[in-house]
Structure 1
Amino acid sequence: MSRTSVLTDGQWARIQPLLPTSAGRRGRPFRDDRRVVEGIIYRYRCGIAWRDVPAEFGPWQTIWKRHRRYSGDGTWDSILAALLTVADARGVVDWSVSVDSTVNRAHQHGTNLPRTTGARSNYMNLFAEPDDHAIGRSRGGLSTKIHALVDGRGRPLVLLVAPGQGGDAPMFTHLMDQLKINRAGPGRPRTRPDRVRGDKAYSSKAIRAHLRDRGIVAVIPQPSDQIGHRKRRGSTGGRPPAFDREDYKGRNVVERNFNIFKQWRALATRYDKLALTYRGGAVLRAISIWLTALGDTP
């Protein structure tokens, strides 16, 4: 396989039927889908400007426009959802999930659009560009956070982007709301994991109550200030929440997931002006991870 051949024949055969066609559309028919999709992957993997994508993938304008279209109309998300359905039907998805976020510095080329500073990113509509473009000012400068919910083996299930200065806990319910894996046959989509592993940033009464009400085991340690506050209240402080220290060791899979994500240089540093296309690149990375997990066998 050459350096620019980024999909195997088996991987392409799996996602090709899931891509929209140009049938019924006005205008020119779509160019060769495989080369365009591989051009998008190549750009994110190498972290280059769109206009520097090798000519063998086709005109860079076509590659950019196709990625913008697929990010905004939900194509990437629908492909990921279809792969997750296959993986769940095979028993590949590990429902002991982990949650965390990673901060990625925004390059100056990705921060030159007008934006409403302090505006809340639009988590309810993943395909509408938020006013702040999911860029905020944190300690390291202008940055974006990728919030992820991964399965027990570190493979992404849900991905959201938000400004870099935002907290992790407020994003938890948004991640859980987006967790929905359709069944291969009849039945409602699965939305409830067996357990959720999170670090101390997710130790809040609201999150613990949310998990308890849904019958999900919380594997979340308490920070020292919460422990001290409970002890100072004496008998009125209540019992400490249950915490399985041994099971918590499995939370590191989400950190390893971020290491794999950042092997694509245009995700480790945000060059995209739009939150839509940056998140689209992250979802495309998730697609590539699940294609590898499923292999070439139909």
Structure 2
Amino acid sequence: MGSRSRRLTDRQWALIAPLLPSNEGRRGHPFGDDRRVVDGMIYRFRTSTPWRDIPREEFGPWQTIWKRHRRYASDGTWDRVLQALLAQADAAGLIDWDVSVDATIARAHQHATNTTRAPTRTQGALSNYKNLPFDEIEPAGHGIGRSRGGLTTKIHHAVDGHGLPLAIVVTGGQRNDGAMLEQVLDDIRVPRVGGGRPRTRPDAVLADKAYGSGVNRRMLRARGIRAVIPEKSNEIAARKCKGHKGGRPPSFDAGAYKDRNVVERSFALVKQWRGIATRYDKLAITYRAGAVLHAVLTWATLLGDMP
């Protein structure tokens, strides 16, 4: 296989391979050449080539790559791999728990939208899997909604203080960013290497004005999380109109807020994969799995560079 086609480094694969499902106790034809198949998945999302056009001579039959990706997407394999890598990173002190949250839009290609979709008001969100049947995992409307840009999907990201992904939630493009904050935070789950309850609570949440509702501020306060979110201008005006009855303004650390740009940079990196920047997948689970796979490689790269 040529170096241009090889997507996984030896160090990355050494971290990922032990975390993938084994053939033990599995019926049917055993998995073969896992690295080649995963390379094919990465190639597909990196280039946005149709599954049928994945080079057979380099990655093997496209059907094998698609079926494995579909299996890993529906059974939560990539989520478990990501959590295992996050556990290693947290044990090494590599996670900065001042978390930034934001969302980005991805235009849905016509090949992704020729499916039956539920009305916009019923469209759900897709985050971590909880061993549910497929029809309960795949959200109504397949995570595609109509926004100003047409039919779109929205990726909600929570990243650590270095801009490295901790949580990925997919919704229709019309979904309000602020309304998704609680679900995005609920998606953060970092197991402890030595055992014990996984860490789910950041030290602080950095977000823009779209997340500054009273509901979100109360939710963060109840969880003991410091909110670094500016007030909206209309909220400031309404508070001032009430005089002393309007209460004090919420605390805001302008210096810490300058670090929120890490989440914007994380979107710039994930959208270098053309299959993420534009959605070609009909199913939300397979599209989100591509974004989670990108997160897996990001953390595997960081851990692989450690001495």
Matched with 1:11 is 12
2:64 partner SS:
helix
Please report how far the alpha carbon of residue 123 of structure 1 lies from its aligned counterpart in structure 2 after TM superposition.
Answer: 4.3
Matched, 1:151 2:160: yes
Inter-CA distance 110–63: structure 2 relative to 1 (3 Å threshold)? same
1:182-238 deviation digits (Å, cap 9, x = unpaired): 111032211111110000000011111111112111000011011111111111111
Contact 1:81 1:181 in 2 (8 A): yes
Matched with 2:34 is 33
Contact 1:123 1:174 in 2 (8 A): no
Q: Runs of at least 4 residues of structure 1 off by over 4 A?
A: 122-125
Inter-CA distance 196–264: structure 2 relative to 1 (3 Å threshold)? same
Structure 2 CA distance, aligned partners of 1:151 and 1:130? Answer: 27
Matched with 2:246 is 237
Matched with 1:115 is 117
Contact 1:11 1:291 in 2 (8 A): yes
Matched with 2:55 is 54
Q: Please list, as runs of the form range in 1=range in 2, the aligned pairs for 1:1-298 lying within 5 A after superposition.
A: 2-55=3-56, 56-118=58-120, 119-123=122-126, 126=129, 128-296=137-305
Amino acid at match of 1:53: I
1:98 partner SS:
strand
2:194 partner SS:
coil
1:281 partner SS:
helix
Please report how far the alpha carbon of residue 131 of structure 1 lies from its aligned counterpart in structure 2 after TM superposition.
Answer: 1.9
Larger mean CA deviation between 58-67 and 186-195 belongs to 186-195
Structure 1 CA distance, aligned partners of 2:197 and 2:283? Answer: 34
Structure 2 CA distance, aligned partners of 1:42 and 1:206? Answer: 42
1:116-163 deviation digits (Å, cap 9, x = unpaired): 121231447746111210000000100000001000000000001000
1:142 partner SS:
strand
TM-score w.r.t. the length of structure 2 is: 0.94
Structure 1 CA distance, aligned partners of 2:86 and 2:259? Answer: 21
Amino acid at match of 2:124: S
Contact 2:212 2:229 in 1 (8 A): yes
2:72 partner SS:
helix
Amino acid at match of 2:198: P
1:133 partner SS:
helix
Structure 2 CA distance, aligned partners of 1:161 and 1:132? Answer: 12
TM-score w.r.t. the length of structure 1 is: 0.97
Q: Extract unaligned runs of 5+ from structure 1.
A: none
Structure 1 CA distance, aligned partners of 2:190 and 2:161? Answer: 15
Structure 2 CA distance, aligned partners of 1:257 and 1:268? Answer: 12
Identity of aligned residues (%): 60
2:29 partner SS:
coil
Contact 1:10 1:297 in 2 (8 A): no
Inter-CA distance 198–281: structure 2 relative to 1 (3 Å threshold)? same
Amino acid at match of 2:55: P
Contact 1:101 1:146 in 2 (8 A): yes
CA RMSD across the alignment: 1.3
Structure 2 CA distance, aligned partners of 1:130 and 1:180? Answer: 21
Contact 2:125 2:170 in 1 (8 A): no
Amino acid at match of 1:29: P
Larger mean CA deviation between 270-279 and 120-129 belongs to 120-129
Equivalent pairs, count: 298
Amino acid at match of 1:121: G
1:94-131 deviation digits (Å, cap 9, x = unpaired): 00000000000000001111111212314477461112
